[in-house]
């Protein structure tokens, strides 16, 4: 069911083509199309009347953007953006044409990679061996078992594992930054000691991945790393992302 309004997935150059069998948000899925205005275009579809952040809609948004970004630069919109009608979209395209083109040029050939670092549960034995305070708490908990002792021990372990992971996360960030065109800190994610997005050239992505994998091989018992990519450049469409550009 299509409601009123136009769902906007992102902006591309006017020459950009939709990938074959593109699928939009909604159930049944809305059919995406390209709305051209001058030298830029918006990828749009009808807006489902009951649009919410359902899993299938988030995936439809994401997958369409992934397909589009394979074919050229793309400025992804935040999920759930709806314009009143086609004219409103065309008006914005016309007003923003120069700025959009500039950002599209800046992101041409680029992808986003997101790295999250979490404490690793694998290094427990090492932590207990190396950390005198935790060894003491563990001995206490063994001598006088009980809920309080367990909580003290467990809390100290959790904090120490987080600190170790955070230290490693700073190291991996320092190693990766020279391989990226720009970096952008992500939102705080509970459970993660670091959440950073990198703007990386498509050509350089496999060596970027190798750096992450080598680091994970070396330090996997101190930190768990999860790298997601290549992604549309969600974190680098704003002007401030441009400011975060790393020189050299």
Partner 1 sequence: MTTTRYADEVVCRPRSGNLYDVLELILDRGMVIDVFVRVSLVGIEILKIDARIVVASVDTYLRFAEACNRLDLEADTRSTTVPEMFGGAAARSLGKRKVKKSAETLGGTLRKAVTGGEDEEEEEETRPRRRTTARTSPRRRSKE
Name residues whose C-beta falls within 8 Å of residue 173's C-beta, 6 or more positions apart in sequence. 115, 183, 194, 196
Our finding on whether 201 is near partner 1 (CB under 8 A) is no
User: Looking at 10, 24, 32, 46, which residue binds partner 1 (CB under 8 A)?
Assistant: 10
| Minimal distance, residue 172 CB to partner 1, in Å | 10
CA 211 to CA 91: how far, in whole Å?
Answer: 44
Residues 46-65 that bind partner 1 (CB under 8 A): 47, 51-56, 58-59, 61-63
Residue 97 phi/psi, 5-degree rounding, is -50, -50
Three-class DSSP labels, 151-187 = HHHHHHHHHHHHHHHHHHHHHHHHHHHHHCCEEEECC
What is the token pair recorded at 75? 């400025």
Q: Which CB atom, from 35 or from 83, has the smaller least distance to partner 1?
A: 83
Reported as type and span, the H/E element at residue 58 is: helix 55-70
Range 62-101, binding partner 1 (CB under 8 A): 62-63, 66, 70, 75-84, 88, 92, 96
Scanning the structure block, which residue is given the tokens 């049944």?
A: 28
**Which 120-149 positions form the footprint of partner 1 (CB under 8 A)?**
120-126, 128-129, 134, 138, 141-142, 145, 149
d(CA 89, CA 67): 22
Cβ closer to partner 1: 56 or 170? 56
Check residue 222 for interaction with partner 1 (CB under 8 A): no
Measured from the CB atom, the residue of 170 and 218 that comes closer to partner 1 is: 218
> Which residues sit opposite 11 in a β-bridge?
42, 75
Which residue carries 């670091």 as its tokens? 194
> Which of these segments, 13-21, 33-41, 114-122, 174-182, binds partner 1 (CB under 8 A)?
114-122
Q: Minimum CB separation from partner 1 for residue 175, in Å?
A: 14
Applying CB under 8 A, does 248 fall inside the site for partner 1?
Answer: no
Nearer of residues 35 and 237 to partner 1, judged by Cβ? 237
Residue 108: DSSP 8-state:
T
Q: Residue 120 CB, nearest distance to partner 1 (Å)?
A: 7
Closest residue by Cα to residue 82 from 5, 1, 2:
5
End-to-end CA distance of the chain: 51
Q: Quote the least distance from Cβ 205 to partner 1, whole Å.
A: 9
# residues near partner 1 by CB under 8 A: 86
Q: Taking contact as CB under 8 A, which single stretch among the options 13-21, 31-39, 181-189 is the one that binds partner 1?
A: 181-189
Which member of 18, 221, 242, 244 binds partner 1 (CB under 8 A)? 221
Report the residue number, 186 or 204, with the smaller CB distance to partner 1: 186
DSSP tag of 26:
T
């Amino acid at each position: 069911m299509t409601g009123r309004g136009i769902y906007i997935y992102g902006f591309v150059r006017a020459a950009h083509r939709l990938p074959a069998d593109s699928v939009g948000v909604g159930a049944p899925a809305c059919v995406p199309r390209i709305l051209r205005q001058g030298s830029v275009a918006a990828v749009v579809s009808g807006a489902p009347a009951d649009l919410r952040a359902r899993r299938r809609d988030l995936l439809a948004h994401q997958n369409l953007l992934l397909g589009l970004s394979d074919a050229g630069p793309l400025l992804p919109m935040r999920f759930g953006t709806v314009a009143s009608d086609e004219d409103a979209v065309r008006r914005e395209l016309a007003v923003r044409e120069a700025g959009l083109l500039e950002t599209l040029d800046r992101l041409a050939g680029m992808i986003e990679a997101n790295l999250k670092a979490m404490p690793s549960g694998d290094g427990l034995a090492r932590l207990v061996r190396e950390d005198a305070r935790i060894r003491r708490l563990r001995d206490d908990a063994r001598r006088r078992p009980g809920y309080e002792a367990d909580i003290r021990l467990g809390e100290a372990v959790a904090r120490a594992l987080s600190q170790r992971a955070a230290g490693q996360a700073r190291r991996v960030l320092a190693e990766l930054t020279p391989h990226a065109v720009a970096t952008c800190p992500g939102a705080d994610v509970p459970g993660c000691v670091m959440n950073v997005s990198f703007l990386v050239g498509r050509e350089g992505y496999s060596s970027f991945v190798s750096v992450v994998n080598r680091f994970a091989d070396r330090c996997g018992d101190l930190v768990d790393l999860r790298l997601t990519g290549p992604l549309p450049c969600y974190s680098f469409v704003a002007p401030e992302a441009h400011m975060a550009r790393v020189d050299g």
